[in-house]
Structure formats: C-alpha cells, structure tokens
Structure 1
Amino acid sequence: MVASECASLSGSAVSTVALPTLAVLELHASTTQIATLAFLGQLPNAVVALPAGALSDRHAKRPQMITADLTAAAALSTIPAAAFAGVLGIGQLYAVAVILGITKIVHGAAAISYLPVLVEPHLLQGANSRLGAASSVADSAGSNAGAALVGAVGTARSLLADVLSYLISALLVWRIRTPEPVAAPAEGRRSLVRDIWEGLRYVAGQPMIRTVIGALSTLSFGLAIMNTYWAYHLFVGLHVSPTAFGVIMGIGGAGSLAGALLAPRIASRIGLGPTIIIGFAVSPLAQVPLLLAGPGLRWQIALAGTLAVQLFWATASGASQRPLRQILCEPRMQAASTTVTAGARPLAAAAAGALVLCLGVRSTLAIGAALQIVPVILLLFSPVRALRDMPVPPSRTAVPRAREGAA
C-alpha cells in the first residue's frame, strides 16, 4: 500500500507543477478562470465524500482504489492528446479537474479505511508516519521531476508521468492480497442515507473529533483561498519560472519528509495534542514571507524555506491526527469528517475569485492567511490541548450511538 500511495503521489506532484503552468503560462487563464478551475477541482469534496465513505464502509476497498486510479489515468491522458492535436482549452482542464477530484476522494476514502485492515490499532501512528515519510519523498521527487519534465518535454506531455503513476498505483493495489472483512449481506444493511446521517451525527457528538474537524475545516478554508492564487501569484506577481516553482515545491517536500520521519518522536516527547496544535500554529506564520515577497532569488529561497517549515509541522501534525481519526471513526464517519473539512473548499475558491476582483491577489492571500489563526484558538480551548497519548478505540470501551447495531 505504501508503494501504491508513493506512486500515485509522485505523479500527482508532477501535475501540481504542470497544471498551474499550463493554465497560467500556456492557456493564459484569467483570474476568474483560475478561480473556476480551483472551484471545480474542489467541488467533489462537498458532493462525493459522504457517499464515498458510506460505500467504502459497505464494499471492498481495494477495487474502489483500483477503479479510481484507472479513471484518473484515463482522464489525465486526454490533456497531452488534446495538446498534440492543437485543441486543448480551459474547458477541458475544468472537466479533468472534476474527474481527478472525484477519483481522489474515492481513492482516499478507501485508503484511509484500508490501512486499519492491514495494521493493528496500536501500530497505526507508526504506520501513518512511515506512510507519510514515503509519500513525502515521492511528493518531493515528483515536484522536482515535474519541473524538469516541463522544461524538457513541455507542460502537457509532462502529465504522461502522472498517467503512468496512476497505472503503477493500480497495479500495486491489485497485488495486495490481505483479505478484507466480509461486508454485511445486502438485506441486513441500513440505508446509505442513514449511514451518512449517522456519520455526521457521530462527528458532531464526539468532542475530540468535533474539535479536530472544526479546526481542520477552518484551516482548509483559509488554505483553499490562498491555494487558489498561490501558483498564479508566484508565476505572474513574483515572476517565478516553472523550474524554480518545482524546486520550491521540492524543498517543501523535503520538509514534509522530515516531519513524517520525526512525527512519532515529537509526539512522544511533547504529546499528541501539542504536536497537532503546533502544526496548526505554524501555518499562518509561514504565510508572512509570501505576503511580503517580491521578485528575486532571495525571496524564492525564503519562500522555499518557510514552505519546508510549514510542511514539516503540517506533516507531523497530520501523522498525529490521522490515526486519531482512524481509531475513533468508521469509514462513513471518516467520510463525514472529510466532507466537513474539505466541503467548504469550493466555497473558498469562489470567495477567492470574488475577493480578487475587489481587493487584488495579495490582499486575498492575506485574508486566507488571517483565517488560519482561528483553528489555533479553537484547539487551545479544547480537549486536544491535554491529549498526550493515542486514545483507546471505542470498541474497547463504550459503543457510541452511531455504532449501535454495527455487529
């Protein structure tokens, strides 16, 4: 599973460099088109996550991951084909962004629920840390490879690397032979709507999960506002080249790798809750250089350094809160948390488009950075602050109302 996630993420990192470059520098997308592209790419988070989580709870997860990978590969392959034929337009990027968003949600919902099938609960934090470390290496390598490929073969054709990565990911998932628990017979299952509702109710009623999800959703909204125009600001406002953009992303990936490797040690030394809180607190501070930056190599080095620090703590925090959700939540509950966390991102992209028209790009980025202070306050006045060790899984204590009848 680690190899599969690495293959997928390394290719996606190529797309992270190639797609903004394609939209901004080759298709000359306007600020409104950039916001639309971001909105459509994030829309599946609000629409697909809940059904995907409920379906992941009911059906085998491995076929879902394989299908999602193959669909993503097919969608991405249309971009270099259209570019070769000379018919590539922003409308096709819109369609591919929607499909990639859907496949990412389906794959992610199955993957986050599949790991506990492969790993015992007390090993989840270590497994997530190792998975995060391997993924960070793949992400960093993919970003640098993306920059090199854009320069060597062109933006559109560089996406073929991502197509290949999805195919490799599907093959590696297909080779996993660990049996999954047998799903309940169809006649004994509850309705899909009821599963979704119970997932939402559980998230709202579990204090620890409710706080973490509230903080994640606020942080996600602020970051989504910034990410809508982050690449645009670097390319147009700061005159960063595609190669330099890839190097910045690669250095950030190196910080993410260090955070993943050190996450268990950090959490054991200062506690699980403080690790999560520090990860949130670093994010708004890391945006300050971006808001002050101008063109030039010195600012590019500063941006790369602060991105590395931000992703170091973000990954360490994620390696702590991800197993927390895996222990406390079933798949449909994880999907509910994903929907609450990421469902506002399309609204954030739309808000970013409106803010840019009124205030400009830099002021919009500043608003997105300011919003990231809110989750830090939420966490400081919550049970998460006192959390030192991973909690006991609910199945070993009392069964929450959302799990009644699950047997």
Structure 2
Amino acid sequence: MATTVPNQNPPTALAPRDNRFPRFWAGQSVSQFGDRITELALPLLAVTTLDATPAQVATLTALIWAPNLLAILLGSWVDQQRRKRRLMVLADLIRAAALLTLPIGYALGTVPLAQLYAVALVTGAAGVLFNCAYPSFFARLVEPADYVRANSRLSTSRSASYVAGPALGGALIQALTAPVAVVADALSFLVSAVLIGRIPLDEPQPATGGDDASFVGRARDGLAFTLRHPVLRAALGCATTVNFFTFIAQGLLVLFAGRTLGLSAGAIGLALGLGSTGALLGALLAPRISRALGMGRTIVLGAVLFPAPLALAAVAGGPAWARAATLCAAEFLMGAGVMLFDIPLNSLQTSVIPDEVRSRVSGAFATVNYGIRPLGALTGGLLADLVGLRPTLVLAAFGGVLAALWLLPSPIPRVRSLDPVAEADADAKAAPERDRVADPAPAAR
C-alpha cells in the first residue's frame, strides 16, 4: 500500500517562487562552486607540496567532519536561538576567514600540514553550525508541498558545481597554486553571507517547553525522537552506513587518481567535472523519477547506485585516456545515485520533523550520520596502507551497497509522495498511531 507523509510544518512557510528563495538559492550556488575548488585544493596541496601519506590525507578529510560528533549538542543550543539566519551568516564568515589563512601563509613562505589540519577543523565546525540552523530556516522559507522542487533546485546547483568546479579548480591550482586557489572559496562564503543576511524572514521565538529543558536534555530529546521515529531511524541507519563506506574512499580518491592512475591535476579535475554531469542529471530528474517510482523506491535506488560505482573506479587501467574515462564514468553514476538518494530523503525528513525540535533532531542526525565520516576516512587510510588503494575502493563499494538493507523493512519504500490532499486523508486515519510513534514524549527525554 502506498504511504503518504503527515505534514508537521508551519503553515507560514514561503514557496520557492517567493523572491527570497531565489536569493538563498543564489548564495548557496555560489558557495557550492567555491567548495569544489577547496575540496580539490586541500588534498592536492597535502599530496604535491607536503608529500602527505595516505593516512595523513585521510586525517585531513576526517578533521573536516570530526566536529559533527558534537552536532547533537550544538543542535540543542541552536534550537533555542531565534535568529537562525544570523547563525548561518556567522558560519559563512568563519569559513571565509579560516580559508584566507592559507594564501596568507603561502605568501609568508610556509603552509605546514598542521595549518591544513586547523583549517579543516575550523571550517568543519562552522559547517556544523550552518547545517544545524539550516533546517528551520529552510522550513520557514519553503512550503511543504514545494520541498522536493526546492531541494531539486538546490541540488541542481550543487550538481552543476561538481560539473564545472573540479575543472575550474584544477585549472586554478595549476595556474595559481593550491593555497591561492582557495581564495575563490573564501569569497564564495562572503557572497553567501551577504545574500542570506539580506533575506527577511519571520523567525518566531523558539518553544522552551518540555519536562527537561536543560541543554543536555534537549539534545537527548532530539536523539530519542530520531531513534523512535520509523522513517528517521531507517534513514539514519542507511545514511550512516553508506557514509561510512563511501568515506573510506572519499579521502583517497584524489590520491588514487594522482598516484595510482598517474593523472595530472588538470586531468583529475576534468574527469571529475565531466563525471559530475551525472549528479546534475540526477538532480534534474529526481522529482520526475520520484513521481514515477514513488519517493521511497527512488531513495532505495539511490542508496544502491551511490556507492556501487566505486568498484568501477578501482579497476581503472590502460592508457591515460582510459583511466580518466573510467574515473569519469564512476563519478557520473555515483553523482546520479547520490541525488536520487538525497533529494527525496531530505524532503521526506523535513516533512516528518516538527518545527520545535527541528535543529536538535538535525544535530542528532548529524552526530551519528556525519560523525561516522571521520571514522570512515581514517579506516580508509589504514586500509590503504595495509592492502592498497584498489582493494580499499572495492571494499567501500560492497559495504556501501549493503546500506540499502536498512530501508527495506521500514515505511520508506512505501512512501509515494508528499501530496497535501492525500496527506490530510492519511492524517485522519493514522493520527493515533502517529502520535504514539512520532511525538517526543516526556518519558523519552
């Protein structure tokens, strides 16, 4: 039987066609393009300039995601702050300042590995702050019926950045050096801060109710809600598993392309950029595929298609053009998969989380889901040193595909859409059960 999802979001949200959403969309688009440059520049700087080992490159990736281990506490704090928009602006400014220390250090004659680690940690922490404030901001900006469409637009921009960003980043790095190239990302965060800061948005005073309103109690409440909710629990298990295994490979892919496949920075950027057209195509088609297959089945499809192509990258060989083409094909399929997974899943999660616990649930989700990423990256570095890069990529592909097993017994595969008319009818029939399963009862706090 098809399942619809109850709407628990504020009726005062704004549709994407409101002129405030395009402003936010523009800021995020600019920021995404800058991120692609830094994602290529940091590991290449470590590999080419500092002669970093696989374990050191993996540590760099791990430090970017390590602050997510504290997201559950930060989300609890963010939930009690009224001005989520200001927190997002602050996060952008912190990231810009941290990145600008790299060209400054380069101008002074040195960029030690310790500085790369510090930049990774600070930008990661600011990213956690931004992401904890983002869900409430998004839910106030976009109507529930438009979640998939709005997420598709944001993901389309992100996908487009993966198409042009790596090629642009590779060219900038070759022309200007990696430390100077990250200036583009710093400037993109400043643009994002200006655009978000100019968005007028009604942000009501957060609720302070609950039997346990302490800082730790609110954090525990967010985790309890996540684990008790059948949709969020399955989504968390699947996303955490797939992130662990894909991040075994994430920090090593550039290293693999450069050292094992022998590709230049420009060739790596071009291969990853062309391959990222898969993400662009996936983002554009995700709403249509979700309508055709149903949201839930699209999520399951994406959960499999996202990690599996890592095995294709692992077998790359032959002449340089063939190695680059195989890397490109793997990136294409992975990009399409991650969009088919992320866009409907993000929309579904936004629909089932009440606004009053949105940031703390987001923090709890990030602590587990994103917190596993540094562990995956460190595991990848250890495995690469022990068994080599190719076997490590194959293991990552196989383990990542198994993540879909979390979804199959859950309600997610039966979810067809977020249609508000169907939701109203489903709400009337399912209210008693939903109240029992979904509400963050005082006993769970």
Task: Out of 350-359 and 67-76, give the one that drifted further.
Answer: 350-359
Provide the C-alpha distance between the structure 2 equivalents of 1:32 and 1:344, rounded to a whole number of angstroms: 17
Alignment CA distance shift 1:184-1:208 (3 Å): closer
Counterpart contact for 1:66–1:174, Cα < 8 Å: yes
Provide the C-alpha distance between the structure 1 equivalents of 2:77 and 2:340, rounded to a whole number of angstroms: 29
Counterpart contact for 1:46–1:346, Cα < 8 Å: no
C-alpha RMSD of the superposition: 2.2
TM-superposed deviation, 1:369: 1.6
Provide the C-alpha distance between the structure 1 equivalents of 2:87 and 2:211, rounded to a whole number of angstroms: 22
Residue 362, structure 1, aligned to residue 390, structure 2? yes
Counterpart contact for 1:13–1:140, Cα < 8 Å: no
Q: Deviations over 1:82-108 (max 9, x none)?
A: 111112111100000001111111112
Provide the C-alpha distance between the structure 2 equivalents of 1:208 and 1:122, rounded to a whole number of angstroms: 19
Provide the C-alpha distance between the structure 1 equivalents of 2:277 and 2:442, rounded to a whole number of angstroms: 44
Match of 1:174 among 182, 197, 219: 197
Match of 1:389 among 403, 407, 417: 417
Give 2:403's aligned amino acid: P
Q: Deviations over 1:151-180 (max 9, x none)?
A: 221111111101110110100111101221
Counterpart contact for 1:40–1:98, Cα < 8 Å: yes
Residue 340, structure 1, aligned to residue 368, structure 2? yes
Match of 1:31 among 40, 47, 54: 54
Task: Out of 218-227 and 376-385, give the one that drifted further.
Answer: 376-385
Give the equivalent residue in structure 1 for 2:144: 121
Task: Out of 226-235 and 176-185, give the one that drifted further.
Answer: 176-185
SS at match of 1:388: strand
How much identity, in percent, do the aligned residues show?
32
TM-superposed deviation, 1:35: 2.3
TM-superposed deviation, 1:137: 1.9
Provide the C-alpha distance between the structure 1 equivalents of 2:144 and 2:38, rounded to a whole number of angstroms: 34
Match of 1:304 among 301, 305, 328: 328
Provide the C-alpha distance between the structure 1 equivalents of 2:212 and 2:168, rounded to a whole number of angstroms: 46
Residue 322, structure 1, aligned to residue 360, structure 2? no
SS at match of 1:323: helix
Residue 136, structure 1, aligned to residue 159, structure 2? yes
TM-superposed deviation, 1:320: 0.2
TM-superposed deviation, 1:139: 3.6
Counterpart contact for 1:282–1:310, Cα < 8 Å: yes
Provide the C-alpha distance between the structure 1 equivalents of 2:153 and 2:63, rounded to a whole number of angstroms: 32
Give the equivalent residue in structure 2 for 1:244: 267
Provide the C-alpha distance between the structure 2 equivalents of 1:116 and 1:395, rounded to a whole number of angstroms: 20
Match of 1:195 among 218, 239, 252: 218
Give the equivalent residue in structure 2 for 1:95: 118
Match of 1:375 among 398, 403, 420: 403
Alignment CA distance shift 1:74-1:316 (3 Å): same
TM-superposed deviation, 1:251: 1.9
Alignment CA distance shift 1:403-1:171 (3 Å): farther
Q: Deviations over 1:281-312 (max 9, x none)?
A: 11233112211112611121122122112211
Give the equivalent residue in structure 2 for 1:153: 176
Residue 109, structure 1, aligned to residue 132, structure 2? yes
Give the equivalent residue in structure 2 for 1:268: 291
What is the 5 A alignment of 1:44-63? 44-47=67-70, 49-59=71-81, 60-63=83-86
SS at match of 1:54: helix
Give 1:350's aligned amino acid: L
Give 1:146's aligned amino acid: G
Match of 1:69 among 89, 92, 99: 92
Residue 401, structure 1, aligned to residue 439, structure 2? yes
How does the TM-score come out when normalised to structure 2? 0.86
Structure 1 residues not aligned, in runs of 5+: none
Counterpart contact for 1:325–1:334, Cα < 8 Å: no
TM-superposed deviation, 1:359: 1.4
Counterpart contact for 2:310–2:396, Cα < 8 Å: no
Alignment CA distance shift 1:137-1:284 (3 Å): closer
How does the TM-score come out when normalised to structure 1? 0.94
Provide the C-alpha distance between the structure 2 equivalents of 1:151 and 1:402, rounded to a whole number of angstroms: 53
Aligned pair count reads 404
Alignment CA distance shift 1:306-1:30 (3 Å): closer
TM-superposed deviation, 1:184: 3.8
Alignment CA distance shift 1:359-1:191 (3 Å): same
SS at match of 1:40: helix
Task: Out of 249-258 and 88-97, give the one that drifted further.
Answer: 249-258
Residue 351, structure 1, aligned to residue 379, structure 2? yes
More helix by share: 1
What is the 5 A alignment of 1:15-26? 15-26=38-49
TM-superposed deviation, 1:232: 0.8
Provide the C-alpha distance between the structure 1 equivalents of 2:85 and 2:66, rounded to a whole number of angstroms: 24
Alignment CA distance shift 1:381-1:73 (3 Å): same
Counterpart contact for 2:210–2:442, Cα < 8 Å: no
Residue 81, structure 1, aligned to residue 104, structure 2? yes
Give 1:15's aligned amino acid: T
Give 1:97's aligned amino acid: A
TM-superposed deviation, 1:395: 9.3
Provide the C-alpha distance between the structure 1 equivalents of 2:108 and 2:393, rounded to a whole number of angstroms: 37
